[in-house]
Structure 1
Amino acid sequence: MAEDGTSALPRARRAARSGQIRHGKLHHTHPIANALKLVAVAVVVVLVSTGGVAAYALQDVLGSTKPTVHLVQLPGHTATPLPSAPEGETVGEVNMLVIGSDTRSGQAGYGDAADQAASSGVGNNDVDILLHISADHKNVSVISFPRDLEIPIPACPTSSGGYSYATDKAMLNTALSRGGNEQLGLQCAVLTIEKLTGLNIPYAASVTFAGTAAISTAVGGVTVCLATPIVDNNVTPNLNLSAGTHTLVGGEALAFLRSRHGVGDGSDLGRISNQQVFMSSLARQLTSSGTLTNPFTLYKIAKAVTENTVTSDTVNANFLLGVFQAVRATGLSNMVFLQYPTGADPDNPNRVVPNEYAAQQVNQALLADQPIELSGTTGDGSTVEPGSPSTTTPTTPATTGTGSGTSTGSGTSTGSGTSTGTSTGAATTPPTTGSTSTVTLPPSVTGQTAAQKTCSKKIQY
């Protein structure tokens, strides 16, 4: 359910859209946290390259870190050795899950009864984003998973020392609360996405409302384009933004990212494409400004993420330095933001399920570490800015693989990738690992590259 108790799909469009595992161990190490991909990885620069400032920043920042969690593997998954990244070197392939918690507990401005009733305690994983960096550091994929996605959730370690029950079909955003605390809830979210995609995900982070607001303030605000006005009284603070360009800071940036009623068709799917407008703008802003070389700005970012973020014990300074170097080398045109493909749940029109055919294409590409190329639109909540390239093609595409055709799975699929079946999780026959051929996803998969300038929009009925 959404913040106000409504479903993911607005009423006007519902009819049209037809074993156990080992217990996770808590560790009290001192990593530098990662919250919003390109923002958080920049933190490392100040800690490794600025002498006296770095010494003070390191001591102060590490003093605000939270307990971390040791991620365990699903049955049948083999943990691969984690790449090391000494100063001056880079990591290999990276799979990292970043979730946003919707808990109101301890969040300034959310203390009234209505907010506490909406989400308190551990909260829900309201945002789920997988960061995939290819082993050769030539491509980055950022996959957003809808909060209302109905998928299997495995048994997860809990704070009581036992396990939560496994569920064949449940909303993705319930995974965080199953752990009993924010550390083990993060573990459960990772296990759930691993089960869905087939990937091993050795890195993870969870950020709160306060963290998102603090990070946007630390970077000096994020400038976004609005094709239509955005008005939403269901977020805090209320949004009333005119069409045009706005620089969003603090609580207003958070409200923009949380808004459903003000963008797209009013659904969580529209919200995801609106969030991609923000994330791609942030990526362009960081790579074209002096943010990444300003030690004082980076110190503020470091404080913001460590005070408001929980991470796995694999996320440390050397790892983040490697990620930072890898992302910088990728280039904006080879950084793809996409929504995990879904269709209407045949059992519940208020929910969505994986689009079996298109989801398998995404899973296979990730498992084989292949570049991804989009062929669809930017999504219901955004549109290409006038004068900006409309293509989502990478700057140096390799031999293009097939992204259309007919699926022989349990769902009925058309050449465009539309499926009426549900996905049972990971792809079972991925291409050969290390393949450099580009996978062109079906037009049903929405998203954009970081190089594309897009504007948020509201669909008018």
Structure 2
Amino acid sequence: MSTPSPQPAQAATPAPLARHGQLKAGNPAAGVLKFVAASLAVLLVSTVSIAAIAVHNIASEIKPGVALPGEEDGPKIGAIEGAVNLLLVGSDSGEGNLAYGAREATLNDVTMLLHISEDHKRATVVSFPRDMFVDMPVCPNPDGASYPAVSSQKINQSLSRGGLACPVLTVENLTGLDIPYAAKIEFDGVIEMSNAVGGVEVCVASPIDDRNIPFKLDAGMHTLSGVDALQFLRTRYGVGDGSDLTRISNQQQFLSSLVRTLKSSETLSNPVKLYGIASAASRNLEFSNSLRNVDTMVSIAGALKDIPLDEVVFVRYPIADATIGGQSGVVPIADAAAELFAALEADLPIGLTGGTGGGTVADPNAPEPSPEPSPTATADPVDPTAPVASGSPAPDAPPTRVELPETIQGTTAGDVTCSAGQTAGHPGG
């Protein structure tokens, strides 16, 4: 495997297999940025006195930013227009906290892209499997040098090549999208964020027993916060087939419930809780310079706050098993990925056909969805004498939903799923 030359200690070397059970800091990161944005937006438009204090304190808590190549200053309040692409990275370093185990390198074991459609009617979060082999472009080193381009490296090694800018450049190279915003979270940040939101309710269909972390959870409904929330997101050998791929679907259950919690009236109408969420995020996330501006966070919140739950979609990047250079992993399925990103760039709604993934199952107690109303019963009257241009669609016709290939698995924030626990029969679990 190729090794970047400027700093050998940060070279993109394979992570030991034993570390796979300790890698789930970043899933909350997808929800975390929504916390920050939604929290600040509500604070600024609710009580003026609380908002003024909150913005001052939060701005003072935000960590120094990370420069992304070619980034510009963020927009002012209310100025976000068009589509938004934001990369959320979960680092497994633990920032030196040995409670999470020793770390030989800093890896982005969670990499998620948040895409908000140009019309602000849909949001899609794409999870990139940590063991996916990708090509990495030239990445800047903080000391002013550069890491050379390399091929067939696992995507979770990109953070070790100079920091947050390299995962951004790698995902841009993979998807063809421009990504002007990025943030990174560590394990302790996940704990603080889950505490700030008051916990997230999850459903467990069969018991989880991950002896590798360790972590146990009985079947049933649980409201998780603190260390329990972190362990739920980290567990690999306790769900599905014990793979990182089924762990992704388990994390998506958590994120879906998280979005439902944040959009509930109880959360959005509680300034104290919202300030706690925003403050915890500002203390525990590392932002790109483009996101350190409080106004920018509020502007992104304006694009997120009114999106329906069924149009907040979590998907896993399409992959196939592969072995490269003696390492097992996965590789992109290029044609399926092209369909996904073409739909996002065209601002079209997407539909999932590949199921939720092996880490979750449908909630057997979820209410049956209401039947769709008859189009003839709800359609506006049509004037048969009105002229219609040949071949033109109806003025208010909804865009056609793109049904994605079965190799793209995922869920929506409107779906209620349960963890498929694995209590025995897998090494480490």
Instruction: Sort the TM-score into its range (normalised by shorter chain).
Output: 0.7 to 0.9
Which structure's CA Rg is the greater one?
2
Could you tell me which of 146, 152, 160 is aligned with 2:135?
152
Give me the TM-score of the superposition, normalised by structure 2: 0.81
Instruction: Tell me which residue corresponds to 2:285.
Output: 309
Q: Which runs of 4+ in 1 moved over 4 A?
A: 1-4
Instruction: Tell me which residue corresponds to 2:38.
Output: 42
Amino acid at match of 1:326: A
Flag the 1:53–1:109 CA change in 2: closer, same or farther, 3 A: farther
Aligned-partner SS, 1:363 = helix
Flag the 1:107–1:269 CA change in 2: closer, same or farther, 3 A: same
Amino acid at match of 1:71: L
Deviation at 1:352, TM superposition (A): 0.5
Flag the 1:37–1:95 CA change in 2: closer, same or farther, 3 A: same
Flag the 1:342–1:456 CA change in 2: closer, same or farther, 3 A: same
Deviation at 1:83, TM superposition (A): 7.7
Instruction: Tell me which residue corresponds to 2:400.
Output: 437
Rounded Cα–Cα distance in structure 1 between residues aligned with 2:295 and 2:143: 33
Instruction: Tell me which residue corresponds to 1:386.
Output: 364
Could you tell me which of 64, 67, 75 is aligned with 2:64?
67
Flag the 1:54–1:69 CA change in 2: closer, same or farther, 3 A: same
Say if 2:239 is the partner of 1:243. Answer: no
Amino acid at match of 2:277: I
Aligned-partner SS, 1:321 = helix
Instruction: Tell me which residue corresponds to 1:365.
Output: 343
Matches within 5 A, 1:164-175: 164-175=147-158
Instruction: Tell me which residue corresponds to 1:270.
Output: 246
Matches within 5 A, 1:13-52: 36-44=32-40, 45-52=42-49
Deviations 1:147-174 (A, max 9, x none): 1111001110002210012111101011
Say if 2:283 is the partner of 1:322. Answer: no
Instruction: Tell me which residue corresponds to 1:256.
Output: 232
Instruction: Tell me which residue corresponds to 2:330.
Output: 352
Instruction: Tell me which residue corresponds to 2:272.
Output: 296
Amino acid at match of 1:124: L
Say if 2:194 is the partner of 1:216. Answer: yes
Could you tell me which of 399, 405, 414 is aligned with 1:451?
414
Rounded Cα–Cα distance in structure 2 between residues aligned with 1:7 and 1:208: 16
Do the aligned partners of 1:157 and 1:188 also contact (CA within 8 Å) in 2? yes
Which is richer in helix? 2
Deviation at 1:305, TM superposition (A): 1.0
Show structure 1 runs of 5+ residues with no match: 9-32, 74-78, 180-184, 396-434
Aligned-partner SS, 1:53 = helix
Say if 2:118 is the partner of 1:105. Answer: no
Say if 2:337 is the partner of 1:374. Answer: no
RMSD of Structure 2 on Structure 1 (CA): 2.8
Aligned-partner SS, 2:124 = strand
The 10-residue stretch of structure 1 (215-224 or 370-379) with the greater mean CA deviation from structure 2: 370-379
Q: How many aligned positions are there?
A: 377
Aligned-partner SS, 1:330 = coil
Do the aligned partners of 2:311 and 2:412 also contact (CA within 8 Å) in 1? yes
Matches within 5 A, 1:134-145: 134-145=117-128
Rounded Cα–Cα distance in structure 2 between residues aligned with 1:382 and 1:300: 31
Higher normalized contact order (CA 8 Å, seq sep 6+, divided by chain length): 2
Say if 2:82 is the partner of 1:92. Answer: yes
Instruction: Tell me which residue corresponds to 2:314.
Output: 337
Aligned-partner SS, 1:36 = helix
Instruction: Tell me which residue corresponds to 1:125.
Output: 108
Rounded Cα–Cα distance in structure 1 between residues aligned with 2:141 and 2:157: 14
Deviation at 1:359, TM superposition (A): 1.5
Aligned-partner SS, 1:227 = strand
Rounded Cα–Cα distance in structure 1 between residues aligned with 2:180 and 2:244: 27
Deviation at 1:437, TM superposition (A): 3.3
Give me the TM-score of the superposition, normalised by structure 1: 0.76
Aligned-partner SS, 1:212 = helix
Flag the 1:389–1:158 CA change in 2: closer, same or farther, 3 A: farther
Rounded Cα–Cα distance in structure 1 between residues aligned with 2:58 and 2:216: 35
Say if 2:181 is the partner of 1:203. Answer: yes
Deviation at 1:338, TM superposition (A): 0.6
Matches within 5 A, 1:76-91: 84-87=75-78, 91=81
Say if 2:11 is the partner of 1:5. Answer: no
Show structure 2 runs of 5+ residues with no match: 1-13, 22-28, 374-397
Do the aligned partners of 1:213 and 1:254 also contact (CA within 8 Å) in 2? yes
Deviation at 1:302, TM superposition (A): 1.7
